[in-house]
């Protein structure tokens, strides 16, 4: 599917829709910089903002959303806000409290999408299956109570998903993973899609290392585009939802200008097969130390 604007949407398996590009806030510390970045993104036309309890910036994100809504340029129903469950809160009671804290910090009546950030954090490693099931139950109750609209996953591999689905009453609609030039995680993508999940790509530019790659630079020049714009379009052409992040207003705006060109199949092949990009591979979720 060829998207034409930031407000075009992917359809989710629960009947809701999600804007095709989201604004990422990972590594944007709580404070004025994050506030300014989110406000700039909303001014540029983003309607999908992705944050997490673990990013430590929900308060700044929430303030920016509140101040933008006060301008009357859009309504709450036009926005799509995602947050994620912190690794320390995988019991039923902890997850329930964490959801309330996210709602409070974001100053929202409901969160559009709430994800389990990691499937196997160090705190609950010995009981990760049971802990995920408990946290998911709390998330499902939040859906029942109108505090969350949709539920999803982040960094989950097939065996994590299979365990969760044994007890889940509400099915996940998203799996957010690392997907960028040279990193495609095909097994995770294939299985997640078999379970009717949309794939989201965090770090679609690989946290910056890709900008010095000669092949990417050449492809960008072919289209009179930036390397960042090529990365975002590459993700979209793989039918995956990108979450680009920046704190620079000019780059935030530039990253929205990706709907007026298309990569060739050969260019996509080159990008998918890139080696030695300097991009850090995705962490093994069963070996993380946080």
Catalytic residue among 35, 55, 202, 234: 55
Beta-sheet pairing, 241-243 with 23-24:
unpaired
Q: How confident is the model at residue 280 (pLDDT cuts 50, 70, 90)?
A: confident
- Of 82, 87, 90, the C-alpha closest to 57 is 82
In sign, the C-alpha dihedral spanning 200, 15, 164, 110 is positive
Q: Are 39 and 23 in contact (CB under 8 A)?
A: no
**pLDDT average, residue stretch 230-252:** 96
Q: Are 236 and 229 in contact (CB under 8 A)?
A: no
Residue 71: CB atoms within 10 Å: 10
Is the full-model pTM beyond 0.85?
A: yes
Does 55 participate in catalysis according to the annotation?
A: yes
Q: What are phi and psi of 218, to 5 degrees?
A: -65, -45
d(CA 183, CA 134): 32
Hunting for tokens 């994590």 — which residue is that?
160
Q: Are 25 and 57 in contact (CB under 8 A)?
A: yes
- pLDDT higher for 73 or 29? 73
Beta-sheet pairing, 17-19 with 9-11:
antiparallel
d(CA 195, CA 176): 14
**pLDDT average, residue stretch 179-193:** 96
For domain 9-272, give the CATH number: 3.20.20.100
Q: pLDDT tens digits for 80-128?
A: 999 999 999 999 999 999 999 999 999 999 999 999 999 999 999 999 9
Q: What is the pLDDT of residue 275?
A: 85
């Amino acid at each position: 599917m060829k998207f034409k604007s930031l407000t075009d949407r992917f359809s989710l398996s629960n009947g809701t829709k999600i804007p095709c590009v989201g604004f990422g806030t990972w590594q944007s510390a709580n404070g004025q910089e994050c506030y300014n970045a989110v406000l700039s993104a909303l001014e540029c036309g983003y309607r999908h903002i992705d944050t997490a309890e673990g990013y430590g910036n929900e308060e700044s994100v929430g303030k920016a959303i509140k101040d933008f809504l006060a301008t009357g340029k859009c309504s709450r129903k036009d926005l799509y806000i995602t947050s994620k469950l912190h690794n320390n809160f995988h019991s039923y009671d902890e997850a329930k409290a964490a959801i309330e804290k996210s709602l409070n910090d974001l100053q929202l009546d409901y969160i559009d999408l709430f994800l389990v950030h990691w499937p196997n954090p160090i705190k609950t490693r010995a009981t990760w299956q049971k802990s995920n099931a408990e946290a998911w139950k709390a998330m499902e109750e939040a859906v029942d109570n109108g505090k969350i609209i949709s539920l999803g996953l982040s960094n989950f591999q097939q065996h994590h998903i299979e365990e969760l689905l044994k007890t889940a009453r509400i099915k996940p609609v998203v799996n957010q993973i690392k997907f960028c030039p040279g990193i495609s995680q095909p097994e995770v993508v294939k299985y997640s899609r078999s379970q009717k999940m949309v794939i989201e790509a965090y770090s679609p530019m690989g946290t910056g290392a890709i900008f010095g790659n000669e092949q990417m630079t050449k492809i960008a020049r072919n289209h009179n585009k930036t390397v960042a714009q090529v990365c975002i379009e590459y993700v979209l052409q793989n039918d995956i939802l990108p979450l680009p992040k920046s704190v620079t207003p000019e780059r935030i705006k530039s990253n929205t200008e990706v709907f007026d060109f298309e990569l060739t199949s050969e260019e996509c092949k080159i990008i998918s097969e890139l080696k030695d990009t300097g991009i850090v591979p995705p962490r093994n979720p069963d070996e993380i130390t946080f």
